[in-house]
Amino acid sequence: MKGKQGEVEYKYSDFFSILHKLKITTKQTSRIMIMNKTFSTLIGSSILCSAASMLMMAPAQGAAFVAANCADGGVTYNGIGDISCTNQENNANPTQATNYLNGGVFSGIDNWIFDSKVEGTSGNTNNFLGFEIASNGTWGFSNTNYTGPIVLELKGSTFRSYHYFDNITGANSLQGEWDMAGVAKKKKGSGNPGLSHASLFYVDNGTTSGGTTSGGTTSGGTTSGGTTSGGTTSGGTTSGGTTSGGTTTGGTTSGGTTTGGTTSGGTTTGGTTTGGTTTSSISCDDTNATGYLSCNGSYLGQNDSNSSEFQAGGELAEWKFLDKVDSDQGGTGDVYDFWRYDLDPGENNQGTWDIVDIVAFEQYLASEWQFDPTTQDYEIGIVTKSGGNQKGGFSLYNWGDQTSGDWDTFGTTDNGKQISHISLYAKFTAKPKVRVPEPSSIAALAFIGGGMFLSRRRQSH
C-alpha cells in the first residue's frame, strides 16, 4: 500500500509540474483542484485528493548556506590576524550582539560598546571610532586617539562572525583586510554569501577623540564630571549644541522632544516620527515600478527584520516573512532558491524580482504555512530596504498573485539610496466559496427538466 501511495504521489507531482510548464496559473490550478474535489465527492474517490495532500507535505528546500569556521576567514589589521574569533547564526540587532559579546566571549571582557554599522559592502560612519569598510576587502577606523580592544562583526545570509583584536590603534588609512570565508559557505558547491553589513565594537578604556578622559571626565573635548563645556554639556545639559536639562534647542530638542528636526515626546514630525515610529515625506508610491496592487511606507530609519510594524497590532501584522536576499548585489534567497532579485546593469538602486520556481514556492507555502489552494489565495509582498546606515528605510509592495516585477528604492528613501536587501513576504486570504449542488439537487433538476421535455413533446403532438 505504501508503494502505491508513493507511486500516486509521484504521478501527481509530475502532473503538477506539467501544469506549471504549460503556464497554467495558480488560480486555474486551484479551479482544477476544486473540480477534482467536487467529482471526488460525487463518485466517492479520494485517491487524487490524498495525493495532493502528500504533495503539500513535501519538505521545503534546505538552506543555501551553512556556517563556516571563522578561523578560515582572512581578517587582519595592520597585517596581523585576529587574536580570536567566533561564529553565530540567526539575526541579531546591535543590542543583542553587544549583549552576546558582553557574556565574556573574548578574554572575559564584559564592557563592549557598539560603535556603528555599515550597511552593504562599503561605507563609513561618523561615530566615535570613524569606522569604514570598503568593497575591495579592506577596513579600518580613523580615530587615532583610540588604542585598545576591537571586535569586527561580519554578517552574510543568516550567519555572522566576530573577530577580536586585543590592542590596535586607529589610522588615517584602511589598515585591515576582510573576506566572507569565515562567515558562511554554500551548502552545495563553493562560494560564500555577500556581505550584508559590518559592525565595530570597542571597549571604554579611558581614551577618547579630541581629548583624554580621566575618571569619566574629559577636558579639551571637553567633559568634566560627566559634564561638557565647549561642546557644551553641563550636568547632562548642553548649550551651544544645544542641550539644557536633557533638552536641546537649536538642534532642536526640548524635554526629550525635538522641534525643527522635529521630535515631540519621542515623536518626530517633519522628519517624521510618531509614537517612536518613523515615517517620512517619502511615499512608497514614489517608486518607478508599476503593476503592484498597493504599498505601505516609507518607514524611515527602520529595518523590516525587527520593525514593530510586522508585530501584533502593527500596520503590516498580516504579512508573513518568508525569506530575504541579504545582499546589495542581488541573487537567490538566503534560505530558499525558488526566488531571486537582480540589479539593472550599472545600477545599485533598481532592478527586477522573480519567483523562478512557482511549484517549489507553493509547496513551501503548503508545508510551512499550511496554505491550501482549494480554500485560500496568497498575495506576495516585496520589501525594499535601502542602505545609508541610520538614514535608510523600507517600503512594502503588494503584488497580489503576480510572481515577478520591478523594484527600486525611490519609494523608500530620498534620492533612491543604494539597496541593502530585499525581503519576500506573503499573506493569505480565503477564497470566495463556490456553491456546488448536492447530488439530490442535481437529480431533482434532471427530473424537472425531463418532465418539461415530455410535456413539450405532448404539446407538439
* Domains: count for the chain: 3
Please give the C-alpha separations between residue 342 and each of 159, 288, 339, 406, in angstroms, as whole numbers. 22, 16, 10, 9
Amino acid 209: pLDDT: 41
> Residues 410, 284: one domain?
yes
Amino acid 251: pLDDT: 38
Please give the C-alpha separations between residue 139 and each of 78, 120, 135, 385, 420, in angstroms, as whole numbers. 10, 13, 9, 24, 19
Amino acid 456: pLDDT: 59
The verdict on pTM exceeding 0.75 is: no
In a domain, 255, yes or no: no
Out of 174, 195, 211, a domain closes at: 211
Amino acid 414: pLDDT: 75
> Residues 321, 418: one domain?
yes
Amino acid 120: pLDDT: 75
DSSP E strands, 277-403: 277-278, 294-300, 320-325, 331-332, 339-343, 350-355, 376-386, 393-398
Amino acid 106: pLDDT: 95
Cα 154 from Cα 14, distance rounded (Å): 42
Cα 134 from Cα 138, distance rounded (Å): 5
In a domain, 244, yes or no: no
In a structure prediction context, what are the per-residue pLDDT tens digits for the chain, which is 461 residues long?
A: 334 444 444 444 455 555 555 555 555 555 555 555 544 444 444 444 444 444 444 443 335 788 999 999 999 999 999 999 999 987 678 888 899 999 999 999 999 999 998 877 778 888 889 999 998 899 999 999 999 999 999 988 888 999 999 999 999 889 999 999 999 998 877 888 888 889 999 998 744 444 333 333 333 333 333 433 334 333 343 333 333 334 333 333 333 433 333 333 333 333 333 344 444 578 899 999 989 999 998 998 888 988 999 999 999 999 999 999 998 899 999 999 999 999 999 899 999 999 999 999 999 999 999 999 999 999 999 999 987 544 578 999 999 999 999 999 999 887 788 999 999 999 999 988 766 656 666 666 666 666 666 555 556 55
At 138 the three-state DSSP class reads: strand
> Residues 322, 395: one domain?
yes
> Residues 18, 77: one domain?
no
Out of 181, 211, 241, a domain closes at: 211
> Residues 183, 314: one domain?
no
> Residues 438, 415: one domain?
no
Provide the residue range defining the domain that includes 388: 277-430
> Residues 128, 30: one domain?
no
In a domain, 400, yes or no: yes
> Residues 336, 377: one domain?
yes
In a domain, 243, yes or no: no
Answer positive or negative: Cα dihedral of 188, 338, 135, 112: negative
> Residues 170, 285: one domain?
no
In a domain, 374, yes or no: yes
In a domain, 135, yes or no: yes
> Residues 191, 329: one domain?
no
Amino acid 454: pLDDT: 58
Task: Write out pLDDT tens, residues 32-43.
Answer: 555 555 444 444
> Residues 42, 78: one domain?
no
Out of 169, 186, 211, a domain closes at: 211
DSSP E strands, 74-169: 76-77, 80-81, 84-89, 112-119, 123-124, 131-134, 138-141, 147-156, 159-169
Task: Write out pLDDT tens, residues 145-156.
Answer: 999 999 999 988
CB 211 within 8 A of CB 111: no
In a domain, 340, yes or no: yes
> Residues 441, 426: one domain?
no
